[in-house]
Structure formats: C-alpha cells, structure tokens
C-alpha cells in the first residue's frame, strides 16, 4: 500500500451512506471535501466530534466544502446516530474497511494494556481538484473543527 501524500490525488471509494444511496468521493469533483474517520457511532468522543462538525456545517458550506463522516458501523446504526444528534451530512458505512485501509487509518490501538485493531481518528481535506490538501491524524477534538475550517478557508 502506498502512503498518502499531500498534493497527490485522494483515493476514491464508493460506500453506502445514511442518505440511502452509495456515495463516492469522485462525485464531489470541483468541491472541497472534509473526510473525517471516526471509530464508532454513539460513543462519547465520536459523538462530540460529529456534533462539532454539525455545529460548523454552515461555515463549511459557505466556503464550498462538503463534510463526510466514515466509520465501520453499518448504515442502520448511522441512521440512528444521525437522527439522534441531528447530523446534517452523510455518514458512510465502511464495514469492509475499504476506505479505512486506503487512507491508512485502520491501526493497532491500545487501551488499558489491551491491543486491538481500530480506526485512528483522522481527518482529510481534499481540494477542488481531488488532491489531498491536508491531513490530521490521531485527532484530539478540542479545536480540531476550527483548524479544519481554517484550512478549508485557506484553499480559496
């Protein structure tokens, strides 16, 4: 697997979404895309992150950016999550880990001395030409959405 590089084309994928349709990255050609990977619906940190993107969606849209969330959860769980928290952007179900592996976010993690495979919380900004403009890995929530929005504005 090749490593992602800033300035290179972002890997395309097609996944089922909470919208009821499949979504591919290539369908957003000509738009900026904020792609955030998170471990699991309905968990405290993932909920906080999703709600921060929700609260900033108007600003992202004003600057021509589409927001997409991706986790390994199935579509029916995404639907419940989106409904419960009023999430106004698609959540993509990556049950086969296709996009997670393309973006190299499926990692060995440790929690309380236990090792397991899981999604490393990460965000990618893709420019209007479909190239990777920025990446944030192992994200901490505080200030993250503001940093992503600043990067979106910087692409204008």
Lowest mean pLDDT among 2-6, 21-25, 94-98, 116-120: 2-6
pLDDT tens per residue across span 125-149: 999 999 999 999 999 999 999 999 9
Quick one: which of 16, 30, 35, 32 has its CA closest to 102? 35
Q: Is 46 a catalytic residue?
A: yes
Residues 101, 102, 105, 107, CA torsion sign: positive
Compute the distance between CA of residue 56 and CA of residue 63 in angstroms, rounded to an integer.
Answer: 11
Cα dist from 30 to 25, 50, 98, 119, whole Å = 11, 24, 23, 28
Compute the distance between CA of residue 72 and CA of residue 85 in angstroms, rounded to an integer.
Answer: 18
pLDDT band for position 1 (cuts 50, 70, 90): very low
Q: Which of 23, 46, 119, 126 is catalytic?
A: 46
Contact 87, 69 (CB under 8 A): yes
Compute the distance between CA of residue 127 and CA of residue 12 in angstroms, rounded to an integer.
Answer: 13
Hey, what are 36's tokens?
A: 């955030």
Lowest mean pLDDT among 26-40, 49-63, 75-89, 100-114: 100-114
Q: What is the CA radius of gyration of the chain?
A: 14
Q: Ramachandran region of residue 104, left (φ > 0), alpha (ψ -120 to 50) or beta? A: left
Strand-pair category, 122-126 with 132-137: antiparallel
Q: What is the mean pLDDT of residues 51-72?
A: 97
């Amino acid at each position: 697997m090749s490593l992602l590089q800033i300035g290179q084309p972002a890997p395309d994928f097609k996944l089922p979404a909470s919208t009821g349709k499949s979504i591919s990255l290539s369908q957003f050609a000509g738009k900026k895309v904020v792609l955030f990977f998170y471990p699991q619906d309905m968990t405290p940190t993932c909920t906080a992150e999703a709600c921060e993107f929700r609260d900033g969606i108007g600003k992202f849209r004003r600057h021509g950016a589409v927001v997409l969330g991706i986790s390994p959860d199935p579509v029916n769980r995404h639907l419940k999550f989106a409904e419960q928290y009023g999430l106004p952007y698609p959540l993509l179900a990556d049950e086969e880990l296709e996009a997670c592996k393309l973006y190299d976010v499926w990692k060995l993690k440790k929690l309380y001395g236990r090792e397991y495979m899981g999604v490393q919380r990460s965000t990618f900004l893709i420019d209007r030409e479909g190239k990777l403009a920025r990446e944030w890995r192992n994200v901490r929530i505080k200030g993250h959405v503001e940093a992503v929005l600043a990067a979106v504005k910087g692409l204008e």
